Chains A and B, each alone.
Chain A
């Protein structure tokens, strides 16, 4: 191959930029994005969720999620009194098309949006036999679909039911926290469309992010805290009956 002086001058800066990312070993695609400066999570406010299903629809469109599989979904809890015996839960079509009317006099009802908790100590990444699923330097649990074997051990290991095997790619799939958007300074598709602001992307390393003020002043909880997964989906107004 003949490389002229002109071609070399064009190639060198490009190679230098590429090499920086090789050294950083970070899955970054945006030149101005520094993964080390972020630590992503999400704030979900149950008191604001109206169960409209916009988030589920937006996620399916944005991420080409196959029908009957869910990167995010909404559950409706109807709790009469306390404990297992006195509650009913449903999520028709993952809440994609909203919910039928809640019967009167059945007790309190509320909606719980669910997605990957992007756990800091994620059991799903621990069990992957080839490391095809991993926690990115900015705290997002991702799957490399060009590397995944499709053994489904990670699906078994997720306590929250957030993973599935994509029937087209035959690889494990889950919420990527719209990584292709957040590393360009955008928010996730689900947060973008939420009409009540019940879902908010949270950068736990950014002191200017309002999530810090919210966490300081509200009682927030994560799902299944006893499993010590380091979940980063923080719920405001989470009822004890929610699993």
Chain B
């Protein structure tokens, strides 16, 4: 028997596995990375410019993988298209497909294409054979890179980013709503859930782009722009403070209100969720990175030390946010809706919904990102060399 106390007989088996933990984690990284990118574009935060394109590509890489865990989890994945063809409008989950498609097709792909159009044309013109044809296809037939055309691109890109910000909020806020609207489950059912999900998404996305920028810059043997990472770390700190405050508000509210589910949930947090919630999420994944980031705000530390602090704080943040998703999804299924018993989650290793699948799905966006970075280099150095091969007159159709 893998449960204690009394569970309704059908509750013993957990329904949503580690893959469903992964899904909000991945979409959170998408939303967070996009919001960081929009800082430069819409709010004109010039310092974060070196990460603008990387943030967009990161968002795309994670967005492409985000539906895979859901797809693998379905009992009948071959029927998943029905969500588009015959959606049930009262269902929060049914709307996911549309929010996802909107975000992918109308926001992210368009914005990336507009921003990279000039580069794509330049690479197409400077290359031969298959490579040239690949980039020619990516131009979608639009090869005019005159100043006037680029200005139109820029204005359209700004507008798309403006639409993209509420879309990114919608994408992840809605994921929170999927859980927050389940009135049968007191661990999930709170109107704060979409807001908490949104801020934790921003925290994770900002941390991920910061780490990726530092990692890729080091691999490229370039100098890390400290003004850029300092600014990102400052935004990470502020967003994290709001996120932590919201989570604590939720916790304090639950403790003070102490409704019929409280004893059961309190017992769960002190036993089965203690390590993942109290130790990993709150202590190691929130308080430690917050203190580390606060140190960099209060004291003037040397760049080398600041870099190390950012790497440590960013890594702990990502672990903490993953633990948060785990505690919401898995934690919400560990107790009986009778509030009289607790079950356990046993994760397989080599299984359709096992640990290995989860690890592969976590690494897959990084592989896609590597491919995207090779295809559409976010670094200015490459463009300069391309630019030097032809005069501007030759480049304009």
Contacts and interface: CB of A to CB of B under 8 A. Distances in A.
Interface of A: 68-70, 73, 75, 84, 87-91, 94, 114, 123, 126-131, 147-153, 155-165, 169-171, 227, 243
A160 B183 CA distance: 12
B340 A161 contact: no
Contact of B10 (A87, A150, A153, A162): A162
B86 A131 contact: yes
A147 B340 contact: no
Given A147-B82, A148-B75, A151-B74, A161 B9 contact: yes
A87 B336 CA distance: 15
Interface stretch (B11-19, B35-43, B114-122, B153-161): B11-19
Contact of A149 (B8, B15, B74, B339): B74
B82 A149 contact: yes
B79 A149 contact: yes
Contacts of A171: 75-76
**Chain B binding surface, main DSSP class:** loop
B87 interface: yes
Nearest to B338: A243
Contacts of A114: 8
Instruction: List the 5 closest pairs (A to B, CB-CB), nearest first.
Output: A150-B75, A161-B8, A170-B75, A159-B184, A131-B88
**Chain A binding surface, main DSSP class:** loop
Nearest to A74: B9
A103 to B, nearest CB: 16
A153 B93 CA distance: 8
B185 A149 contact: no
Interface string B345-388: 00000000000000000000000000000000000000000000
Contact of A128 (B9, B74, B91): B91
A243 B339 contact: yes
Contacts of B76: 148-150, 170-171
Contacts of B94: 129-130
B187 to A, nearest CB: 11
Contacts of A147: 79, 82
Nearest to B88: A131
A149 B80 contact: yes
Contacts of A153: 91, 93, 178
B74 A243 contact: no
B88 A164 contact: no
Contacts of A129: 83, 87-88, 91, 93-94, 96
A89 B263 CA distance: 17
A156 B213 CA distance: 39
Given A89-B6, A156-B333, 12 more contacts: A91-B9, A149-B76, A150-B74, A151-B70, A153-B178, A155-B10, A156-B16, A160-B8, A160-B337, A161-B7, A164-B10, A171-B75
B88 A156 contact: no
B73 interface: yes
B131 to A, nearest CB: 41
A89 B100 CA distance: 44
A153 to B, nearest CB: 5
B90 interface: yes
Contacts of A84: 263, 339-340
A130 B83 contact: yes
B92 interface: yes
B340 A89 contact: yes
A84 B70 CA distance: 37
A155 B75 CA distance: 13
B255 interface: no
A91 B6 contact: yes
Contacts of A94: 9
Nearest to A88: B6
A80 to B, nearest CB: 14
Contacts of B216: none
Contacts of B86: 130-131
B175 to A, nearest CB: 13
A161 to B, nearest CB: 3
A157 B184 contact: yes
A90 B185 CA distance: 21
Contacts of A75: 6
A161 B6 contact: no
Contact of B88 (A89, A130, A169, A170): A130
A149 B75 CA distance: 6
A111 B90 CA distance: 36
Contact of A127 (B13, B80, B87, B92): B92
Interface in B181-198: 181-185
A69 to B, nearest CB: 6
Contact of B11 (A131, A150, A161): A161
